[in-house]
Amino acid sequence: MPGRRAFLGAVLASLGSFMSGCGGSERPPSRPRQAPLPPLATSRLDALLPLAGLKWLILARPREIASIPWLIPPIGTIVPEDRFAAFAASTGLDLRQIPEAIVASYAAEEGEASAYVVRHGGDALTIERAFRRRLTGAERRSVDRPDVVRVSGKIGTASHAFAAIGPDVVCFQQGGSVSRGPLRVATLYATGKLTRSPAALAEDPLRSLAGRFGAAPARAFALGPFEGELARGARGLLAAATAIGAAARPSAREGIALAVAVAGDFSKSGEPAERELLAAWDELARGSFGHLLGLDAPVTAPLATHSDEAVAIAVELDPGRLAKGLADATRNQIAEIMR
């Protein structure tokens, strides 16, 4: 009996020594490390939207505009404080705190689509949840990679889509194709899966117009060819135009410096085209809409110029009159957007 107990003790001691030795000298096999994801290409918002199918786009830096003290009252005339607050509550986005944003319109076989690309300082998940609360049906969520999420669905009968691209960029789309529209293209650009299709401002004439306007905090572009009523605009100048652009920036006199340029081949018709553009501006300013915006009472007289590639006009406007006119002209549209 003592021998049997001694043998059992020795076996248990040996087993304990073996087990403790294994636990101290070896670790469970570790999982292989995954390669880090390539960084998202989101440094330029205009590089996230395609040129194909583009009709027009507006680029703005709202936070910069809203931080100019003397522009605060005109902004409040166009969009009252309570509408900003309601928009932030329903979307998770405070428009006055957005560093930059783009609104664009596209034409495609599936129908027209509107795209909104926003660089924000909020929480992407909060913005996504706010979007999903507005959906009324057909909701679908896709995770392309941990930092790229897409959501689509219906609001009423209209198709809507959302994408969070990294921590600080979101994209919205209304109408058009969810699988092939500008929002899907934006995620492909950002992840480097689409490299051959040119972005919105990557080629002339929009590239040249964007360079002409520089870093203005508000810019707008429309791509030709222009047809029908549009072709007759600017006293017929738009019929031969390839694009038109405008830019607004604050002036040293606390006015709005507005520049408008029509792109096209003016190598042989620059001077007469310049005169036509100035005459077209005068007609617009004397009309009811021009009077509403204060175009007939500018801070400085309009100045027209020309080059081989464009004719342009520059004028400085009173921000108070411009804001009141825009508020009166767009009250219903602003209310719908900010609802």
Q: CA-to-CA distance for 72 and 320, rounded, in angstroms?
A: 10
Model pLDDT for residues 284-330, shown as the tens digit of each residue: 999 999 999 999 999 999 999 999 999 999 999 999 999 999 999 88
* pLDDT band at residue 4 under the 50/70/90 scheme: very low
Q: How far apart are CA 297 and CA 207, in angstroms?
A: 32
pLDDT at 317 (0 to 100):
97
- Could you count the other beta carbons within 10 Å of the beta carbon of residue 258? 21
pLDDT at position 237: 87
Contact call for residues 295 and 255 (beta carbons, < 8 A) = no
Give me the amino acid identity at 97.
Q
pLDDT category at 230 given cuts 50, 70, 90 is confident
Please check the confidence at residue 109 and state whether its pLDDT lies above 90: no
Provide the whole-model pTM.
0.85
- Which is it for strands 300-306 and 256-263: parallel, antiparallel or unpaired? unpaired
Integer Cα distance of 255 and 258 in angstroms: 9
Task: Report the topology of domain 41-61+99-203.
Answer: Protein Transport Mog1p; Chain A (3.40.1000)
pLDDT at 5: 45
pLDDT at 8 over 60: no
**What number is the average pLDDT over the span 126-134?**
96
Q: What does the CA dihedral 299, 304, 305, 310 come to, rounded to 10 degrees?
A: 110
Do residues 279 and 271 lie in contact, with contact meaning Cβ atoms separated by under 8 Å?
no
What is the maximum alpha-carbon separation in the chain? 122
How much is the pLDDT for 335? 59
Domain ranges of the chain: 41-61+99-203, 204-339
What is the pLDDT at residue 10?
42
Helix extents (H) in the chain: 2-25, 62-66, 72-78, 81-91, 124-134, 182-190, 206-213, 270-286, 288-293, 319-337
User: Is 112 a residue whose pLDDT tops 80?
Assistant: yes
pLDDT exceeds cutoff 70 at 13:
no
Strands (E), 107-147: 113-119, 137-145
**Angle separating helix axes 124-134 and 81-91, nearest 10 degrees:** 90
**Rounded percentage of the chain residues whose pLDDT exceeds 90:** 80
Number of Cβ within a 10 Å radius of residue 29: 6
Torsion angle of the four alpha carbons 57, 62, 66, 70, in this order, in degrees rounded to the nearest 10: -30
Q: How many CA atoms lie within 13 A of 267 on its CB side?
A: 1
Other CB atoms within 10 A of residue 212 CB: 18
Q: Is 250 helix (H, G, I), strand (E, B) or coil?
A: strand
Distance CA 188, CA 107 (A): 19
Q: How confident is the model over 60-88, as pLDDT tens digits? A: 999 999 999 999 999 999 999 999 999 99
3-state secondary structure of 257: strand
109: Cβ contacts below 8 Å, ≥ 6 apart? none
Long-range (24+ apart) CB contacts under 8 A made by 177-184 are 177/108, 177/110, 177/113, 178/152, 180/108, 180/110, 181/106, 181/108, 181/110, 181/113, 181/115, 182/49, 182/50, 182/53, 182/104, 182/106, 182/113, 182/115, 183/115, 183/150, 184/150
